[in-house]
Amino acid sequence: MPAKPLFSVITPLYNSGAYIDECMDSVAAQTLEDWEQIIVDDGSTDQGLQRALARARVDSRVRVVRRRENGGAGAARNEAFKVMRGRYVAFLDADDRWLPHKLALQADQLRHSDAVLVYSPFEKINAAGERTNRVVRVPERLDYERLRRGCWIACLTVAIDRERAGTIRMNGFRRSQDYALWLSLLRNGGHAESAGEVTALYRVRPGSLSRNLPGRLAANWAIHRHQEQAGPLASAWYIGCHLTGALYRRLV
Protein backbone atom coordinates (compact mmCIF):
# COMPACT_ATOMS: atom_id res chain seq x y z
CA MET A 1 0.00 0.00 0.00
CA PRO A 2 1.34 3.51 -0.81
CA ALA A 3 2.70 5.65 2.03
CA LYS A 4 0.08 7.44 4.07
CA PRO A 5 -0.81 10.83 2.58
CA LEU A 6 -0.47 14.01 4.60
CA PHE A 7 -4.07 15.05 3.90
CA SER A 8 -7.32 13.13 3.60
CA VAL A 9 -9.84 15.22 1.68
CA ILE A 10 -13.44 14.20 2.41
CA THR A 11 -16.08 14.81 -0.29
CA PRO A 12 -19.72 13.70 0.11
CA LEU A 13 -21.37 13.27 -3.30
CA TYR A 14 -25.10 13.35 -3.89
CA ASN A 15 -26.49 14.29 -7.31
CA SER A 16 -23.74 16.81 -7.98
CA GLY A 17 -22.59 15.39 -11.29
CA ALA A 18 -22.67 18.87 -12.83
CA TYR A 19 -20.01 20.08 -10.39
CA ILE A 20 -17.88 17.13 -9.27
CA ASP A 21 -15.28 17.53 -12.03
CA GLU A 22 -14.62 21.13 -10.95
CA CYS A 23 -14.34 19.96 -7.35
CA MET A 24 -11.85 17.19 -8.22
CA ASP A 25 -9.92 19.51 -10.52
CA SER A 26 -9.45 21.99 -7.68
CA VAL A 27 -7.97 19.26 -5.46
CA ALA A 28 -5.74 18.01 -8.27
CA ALA A 29 -4.48 21.58 -8.76
CA GLN A 30 -3.19 21.89 -5.19
CA THR A 31 0.43 22.96 -4.92
CA LEU A 32 0.76 20.43 -2.09
CA GLU A 33 0.31 17.08 -3.83
CA ASP A 34 0.47 14.75 -0.81
CA TRP A 35 -3.25 13.98 -0.43
CA GLU A 36 -5.99 11.46 -0.95
CA GLN A 37 -9.52 12.46 -1.89
CA ILE A 38 -12.19 10.15 -0.53
CA ILE A 39 -15.43 10.68 -2.43
CA VAL A 40 -18.42 9.08 -0.73
CA ASP A 41 -21.34 8.59 -3.09
CA ASP A 42 -24.49 8.95 -0.99
CA GLY A 43 -26.96 7.18 -3.25
CA SER A 44 -26.68 9.50 -6.28
CA THR A 45 -29.02 9.00 -9.21
CA ASP A 46 -27.17 11.23 -11.70
CA GLN A 47 -23.78 10.84 -13.39
CA GLY A 48 -21.71 12.04 -10.45
CA LEU A 49 -20.66 8.57 -9.32
CA GLN A 50 -19.53 7.61 -12.83
CA ARG A 51 -17.46 10.80 -13.08
CA ALA A 52 -15.80 10.12 -9.72
CA LEU A 53 -15.04 6.50 -10.69
CA ALA A 54 -13.55 7.66 -13.99
CA ARG A 55 -11.21 10.03 -12.14
CA ALA A 56 -10.22 7.30 -9.67
CA ARG A 57 -9.16 5.08 -12.58
CA VAL A 58 -6.58 7.63 -13.74
CA ASP A 59 -5.52 9.13 -10.37
CA SER A 60 -4.81 6.64 -7.58
CA ARG A 61 -5.12 9.42 -5.00
CA VAL A 62 -8.88 9.51 -5.63
CA ARG A 63 -10.84 6.84 -3.77
CA VAL A 64 -14.57 6.21 -4.12
CA VAL A 65 -16.79 4.79 -1.36
CA ARG A 66 -20.39 3.91 -2.17
CA ARG A 67 -23.44 4.05 0.08
CA ARG A 68 -26.61 2.35 -1.12
CA GLU A 69 -29.03 4.86 0.39
CA ASN A 70 -28.87 8.60 0.94
CA GLY A 71 -28.04 9.38 4.55
CA GLY A 72 -26.89 12.98 4.34
CA ALA A 73 -23.49 14.66 4.34
CA GLY A 74 -22.71 13.76 7.95
CA ALA A 75 -23.27 10.05 7.41
CA ALA A 76 -21.21 10.17 4.20
CA ARG A 77 -18.32 11.88 6.00
CA ASN A 78 -18.45 9.27 8.77
CA GLU A 79 -17.98 6.56 6.13
CA ALA A 80 -14.89 8.38 4.89
CA PHE A 81 -13.54 8.73 8.43
CA LYS A 82 -13.42 4.93 8.67
CA VAL A 83 -10.94 4.61 5.81
CA MET A 84 -9.00 7.90 5.80
CA ARG A 85 -5.24 7.63 6.23
CA GLY A 86 -3.91 11.19 6.39
CA ARG A 87 -2.69 12.96 9.52
CA TYR A 88 -4.71 16.01 8.50
CA VAL A 89 -8.32 15.88 7.35
CA ALA A 90 -9.99 18.52 5.17
CA PHE A 91 -13.51 18.83 3.77
CA LEU A 92 -14.75 19.81 0.33
CA ASP A 93 -18.33 19.37 -0.82
CA ALA A 94 -18.87 18.21 -4.38
CA ASP A 95 -20.19 21.56 -5.62
CA ASP A 96 -17.45 23.72 -4.09
CA ARG A 97 -13.83 24.43 -5.04
CA TRP A 98 -10.49 25.23 -3.44
CA LEU A 99 -7.85 27.71 -4.46
CA PRO A 100 -4.52 26.04 -5.34
CA HIS A 101 -2.65 27.09 -2.18
CA LYS A 102 -5.26 25.83 0.28
CA LEU A 103 -3.61 22.65 1.54
CA ALA A 104 -0.04 24.02 1.49
CA LEU A 105 -1.05 27.09 3.49
CA GLN A 106 -2.94 25.11 6.10
CA ALA A 107 -0.29 22.39 6.42
CA ASP A 108 2.22 25.11 7.26
CA GLN A 109 -0.24 26.72 9.65
CA LEU A 110 -0.86 23.45 11.50
CA ARG A 111 2.86 22.71 11.77
CA HIS A 112 3.54 26.07 13.42
CA SER A 113 0.47 26.26 15.63
CA ASP A 114 -1.06 24.30 18.48
CA ALA A 115 -4.60 24.79 17.08
CA VAL A 116 -6.83 21.72 16.87
CA LEU A 117 -8.26 22.96 13.59
CA VAL A 118 -7.69 25.80 11.16
CA TYR A 119 -10.11 27.55 8.84
CA SER A 120 -10.24 30.63 6.62
CA PRO A 121 -12.37 33.29 4.96
CA PHE A 122 -14.06 32.14 1.77
CA GLU A 123 -15.46 33.68 -1.38
CA LYS A 124 -18.92 33.05 -2.75
CA ILE A 125 -19.37 31.90 -6.33
CA ASN A 126 -22.67 31.80 -8.18
CA ALA A 127 -24.45 28.67 -9.36
CA ALA A 128 -22.52 28.80 -12.65
CA GLY A 129 -19.21 28.81 -10.76
CA GLU A 130 -18.31 32.43 -11.49
CA ARG A 131 -16.38 34.30 -8.81
CA THR A 132 -18.23 37.23 -7.24
CA ASN A 133 -15.64 38.94 -4.99
CA ARG A 134 -18.12 38.49 -2.14
CA VAL A 135 -15.79 37.41 0.67
CA VAL A 136 -17.09 36.21 4.04
CA ARG A 137 -14.64 37.39 6.71
CA VAL A 138 -14.09 35.35 9.86
CA PRO A 139 -12.53 35.92 13.32
CA GLU A 140 -8.79 35.30 13.60
CA ARG A 141 -9.21 32.90 16.53
CA LEU A 142 -12.09 30.98 18.08
CA ASP A 143 -12.37 29.17 21.38
CA TYR A 144 -15.33 27.12 22.60
CA GLU A 145 -17.30 29.98 24.13
CA ARG A 146 -16.84 32.23 21.09
CA LEU A 147 -17.86 29.41 18.79
CA ARG A 148 -21.05 28.79 20.76
CA ARG A 149 -22.16 32.29 19.77
CA GLY A 150 -21.93 31.60 16.05
CA CYS A 151 -20.63 29.13 13.51
CA TRP A 152 -17.89 31.15 11.83
CA ILE A 153 -16.12 28.03 10.59
CA ALA A 154 -17.19 27.02 7.07
CA CYS A 155 -16.68 23.31 6.48
CA LEU A 156 -14.97 23.72 3.09
CA THR A 157 -12.23 25.85 4.70
CA VAL A 158 -11.34 23.47 7.57
CA ALA A 159 -8.26 21.36 8.17
CA ILE A 160 -7.97 19.27 11.35
CA ASP A 161 -4.89 17.75 12.96
CA ARG A 162 -6.06 14.24 13.86
CA GLU A 163 -3.23 13.73 16.36
CA ARG A 164 -4.50 16.68 18.41
CA ALA A 165 -8.21 16.13 17.79
CA GLY A 166 -8.47 12.40 18.54
CA THR A 167 -11.55 10.56 17.30
CA ILE A 168 -13.51 12.48 14.68
CA ARG A 169 -17.16 11.67 14.08
CA MET A 170 -20.20 13.66 13.03
CA ASN A 171 -23.47 13.25 14.89
CA GLY A 172 -26.82 12.29 13.42
CA PHE A 173 -28.12 15.82 12.78
CA ARG A 174 -29.22 16.31 9.18
CA ARG A 175 -28.05 19.93 9.30
CA SER A 176 -25.16 21.64 11.11
CA GLN A 177 -23.38 18.37 11.90
CA ASP A 178 -20.12 20.13 11.03
CA TYR A 179 -20.82 22.82 13.64
CA ALA A 180 -21.53 20.13 16.21
CA LEU A 181 -18.15 18.57 15.43
CA TRP A 182 -16.27 21.88 15.79
CA LEU A 183 -17.87 22.41 19.20
CA SER A 184 -16.91 18.92 20.36
CA LEU A 185 -13.30 19.47 19.27
CA LEU A 186 -12.97 22.77 21.15
CA ARG A 187 -14.98 21.85 24.22
CA ASN A 188 -11.99 20.76 26.31
CA GLY A 189 -9.88 23.87 25.91
CA GLY A 190 -8.59 23.67 22.34
CA HIS A 191 -8.83 26.54 19.91
CA ALA A 192 -9.15 27.17 16.17
CA GLU A 193 -7.26 29.71 14.05
CA SER A 194 -7.93 31.40 10.71
CA ALA A 195 -5.40 31.24 7.89
CA GLY A 196 -6.21 34.90 7.27
CA GLU A 197 -6.71 34.64 3.52
CA VAL A 198 -9.32 33.12 1.23
CA THR A 199 -8.67 29.45 0.46
CA ALA A 200 -12.03 28.23 -0.84
CA LEU A 201 -14.93 29.07 -3.14
CA TYR A 202 -18.43 28.37 -1.87
CA ARG A 203 -21.14 27.84 -4.47
CA VAL A 204 -24.45 29.55 -3.69
CA ARG A 205 -27.28 27.42 -5.06
CA PRO A 206 -30.99 28.14 -4.53
CA GLY A 207 -32.71 25.45 -2.50
CA SER A 208 -29.62 23.96 -0.86
CA LEU A 209 -29.85 22.87 2.79
CA SER A 210 -27.33 25.51 3.85
CA ARG A 211 -29.59 28.25 2.43
CA ASN A 212 -32.49 27.23 4.69
CA LEU A 213 -31.90 29.64 7.57
CA PRO A 214 -34.86 28.56 9.78
CA GLY A 215 -33.83 24.93 9.42
CA ARG A 216 -30.23 25.74 10.26
CA LEU A 217 -31.22 27.74 13.35
CA ALA A 218 -33.46 24.88 14.48
CA ALA A 219 -30.56 22.46 14.09
CA ASN A 220 -28.27 24.76 16.08
CA TRP A 221 -30.90 25.00 18.81
CA ALA A 222 -30.94 21.20 19.05
CA ILE A 223 -27.14 21.12 19.21
CA HIS A 224 -27.03 23.61 22.09
CA ARG A 225 -29.87 21.96 23.99
CA HIS A 226 -28.99 18.28 23.52
CA GLN A 227 -25.31 18.01 22.65
CA GLU A 228 -23.98 20.95 24.65
CA GLN A 229 -26.58 20.61 27.44
CA ALA A 230 -27.42 24.33 27.55
CA GLY A 231 -30.63 25.45 29.24
CA PRO A 232 -33.48 26.99 27.23
CA LEU A 233 -32.60 30.61 28.08
CA ALA A 234 -28.93 30.16 27.30
CA SER A 235 -29.80 28.35 24.07
CA ALA A 236 -32.15 31.15 23.05
CA TRP A 237 -29.37 33.69 23.62
CA TYR A 238 -26.94 31.64 21.55
CA ILE A 239 -29.46 31.37 18.72
CA GLY A 240 -29.92 35.15 18.77
CA CYS A 241 -26.15 35.49 18.32
CA HIS A 242 -26.26 32.90 15.53
CA LEU A 243 -28.97 34.84 13.73
CA THR A 244 -26.87 38.03 13.67
CA GLY A 245 -23.89 36.19 12.19
CA ALA A 246 -26.04 34.26 9.74
CA LEU A 247 -27.60 37.45 8.40
CA TYR A 248 -24.15 38.96 7.89
CA ARG A 249 -22.97 35.90 5.96
CA ARG A 250 -26.16 35.86 3.91
CA LEU A 251 -25.91 39.54 2.97
CA VAL A 252 -22.21 39.53 2.01
The whole-model pTM stands at: 0.93
Question: Using CA atoms, how far apart are residues 91 and 79, in angstroms rounded to an integer?
Answer: 13
Per-residue burial over 93-114, b = 16 or more CB atoms within 10 Å of its CB, e = otherwise: bbbbbbbebbbebbbebbeeee
Q: For residue 8, what are the β-bridge partners? A: 36, 89
- Other Cβ atoms less than 10 A from the Cβ of 20: the count is 26
The interaxial angle of helices 20-28 and 48-58, nearest 10 deg, is: 30
Q: For residue 203, what are the β-bridge partners? A: 125
Q: In what order do the strands lie in the sheet with 131-136?
A: 97-98, 200-203, 122-125, 131-136
119 and 163 Cβ atoms separated by less than 8 Å: no
Question: Using CA atoms, how far apart are residues 14 and 40, in angstroms rounded to an integer?
Answer: 9
84 and 62 Cβ atoms separated by less than 8 Å: no
What's the pLDDT at 210? 57
What's the pLDDT at 207? 62
How many helices and strands in the chain, by DSSP H and E? 9, 12
Q: In what order do the strands lie in the sheet with 141-142?
A: 62-67, 35-42, 7-13, 88-91, 159-161, 117-119, 192-194, 141-142
Per-residue pLDDT of the chain (252 residues; tens, 9 = 90+): 457 999 999 999 999 999 999 999 999 999 999 999 999 999 999 999 999 999 999 999 999 999 988 889 999 999 999 999 999 999 999 999 999 999 999 999 999 999 999 999 999 999 999 999 999 999 999 999 999 999 999 999 999 999 999 989 998 777 889 999 999 999 988 999 999 999 999 999 876 555 678 888 999 998 999 999 999 999 999 999 888 888 888 887
User: CB neighbours of 72 closer than 8 A, spacing ≥ 6?
Assistant: 42, 174, 177
Question: Using CA atoms, how far apart are residues 124 and 134, in angstroms rounded to an integer?
Answer: 6
36 and 63 Cβ atoms separated by less than 8 Å: yes
186 and 180 Cβ atoms separated by less than 8 Å: no
Alpha carbon 38 to its chain's center: 13
Torsion of CA 148, 158, 206, 238, to 10 degrees: 0
What's the pLDDT at 216? 86
Residue type present at position 71: G
What's the pLDDT at 211? 63
Domains, the chain, ordered by start: 7-207 (3.90.550.10)
Question: Using CA atoms, how far apart are residues 217 and 129, in angstroms rounded to an integer?
Answer: 27
